[in-house]
Amino acid sequence: MEFTKMHGLGNDFLVFYGEQELPECVSELAIQWCNRYFGVGGDGLVFILPSEKADFKMRIINSDGTEAEQCGNAIRCVSKYVYDNGLTDQERITIETLGAGVQQVTLQIEQGIVQTVRVDMGEPVLDGLSVPTTLEGNPVLAQPIETDGREFQFTAVSMGNPHCVIYVEDAPNFDLGTWGPKLEVHPFFPRKINVEFATVTRRDRVEMRVWERGAGPTLACGTGACATLVSSVLNGLTDRAAWIGLKGGDLFIEWDERDNHVYMTGPAEAVFKGNIDI
């Protein structure tokens, strides 16, 4: 199978096109191929498949073999891939996702190459049981959560996949590796959770670090950036449009009052192509 190694702000994937459906044993393949020592290395596999509802369908398999419902960085990579490889000549396309339905994408193109991608990420889900959590709040704000003797407070948001956003004094230097995995599997979260640790520095800027469900620490998370902006607005900490600073770079996130949709704008890059045997 031919793949293209791509990344969105360092959140990296092996992107495959040409299959009609997911390969057999795709979970085992993801674990093997995403291994950074014994495989190609990546945070996940992304398959661009035919869709009956949209221009393309995206399926994402995390590096631990589980499937993700949505990924903001992956959808930008898919958008760049299909245009740069001549699979579409349209600047506006639709991509079907597992957890967020069909999403609208707008491409910024210079000299025939996609530079940035703006994605309509849809409406945030704020009902606690629907995120899902075991909590009935709508929204779930400043909810105490305790693990291993330490208490945090979180806001729950789904952007097609579940997130809990926690505010800390210094997100860039926070001990992500200790607390991320403990919170990911907390009993509040029946399908586990993506965990964002955030520090608001201005009304239009938030620094954030992420522990991704099924992948661990990553350099960026598009849905996590969207969830962080929504949480920050709900908590009165930022305006409805802000830059989210991730370890791999910045994303611009907007929560539009008119349609209640969240919009994400950022880059995607192709690194190299290769072939791999099943």
**Torsion-angle region of residue 214: left (phi > 0), alpha (psi -120 to 50) or beta?**
left
According to the annotation, is 85 in a ligand binding site?
A: no
According to the annotation, is 222 in a ligand binding site?
A: yes
According to the annotation, is 212 in a ligand binding site?
A: yes
Does 25 qualify as catalytic in the annotation?
no
According to the annotation, is 35 in a ligand binding site?
A: no
According to the annotation, is 201 in a ligand binding site?
A: no
| Tokens 């996130």 found at | 253
Q: Which of 34, 71, 77, 226 is catalytic?
A: 71
- Amino acid identity, residue 48? I
Which pair of structure tokens corresponds to residue 136? 């009935």
According to the annotation, is 223 in a ligand binding site?
A: yes
According to the annotation, is 161 in a ligand binding site?
A: yes
Q: Are 62 and 26 in contact (CB under 8 A)?
A: no
According to the annotation, is 213 in a ligand binding site?
A: yes
**Alpha-carbon span 36 to 86, nearest angstrom:** 30
Q: Which of 34, 77, 164, 221 is catalytic?
A: 221
**Alpha-carbon span 140 to 232, nearest angstrom:** 13
**Alpha-carbon span 115 to 170, nearest angstrom:** 31
3-state percent helix, strand, coil for the chain, nearest multiple of 5: 15, 45, 40
What residues contact 175, with CB distance under 8 A and at least 6 apart? none
**Alpha-carbon span 79 to 245, nearest angstrom:** 22
Which residues are catalytic, by number? 71, 221
Residues annotated as binding site for substrate? 11, 62, 72-73, 161, 194, 212-213, 222-223
